[in-house]
Structure 1
């Protein structure tokens, strides 16, 4: 596995997601704007 200064190289992505709003019976519903965070190891297996 390729390393950079002894650390494994990974790629990160955090796109903004926008969900539609609808009526909710939950006291504190989530907002329509959310962030999805993901890590990806670009090195081959």
Structure 2
């Protein structure tokens, strides 16, 4: 049981920092073209 907890624990730590990182740039990049499209028109 200890080995199972250690496995998910390490994966969970790598998932949270990796998810918010790509999510932040994705929203900024998507917001830039989206806001520029309606504003430019």
By the TM > 0.5 criterion, same fold? no
TM bracket (short chain): under 0.3
More helix by percentage: 2
The alignment's TM-score, normalised by the length of structure 2, stands at 0.25
The alignment's TM-score, normalised by the length of structure 1, stands at 0.24
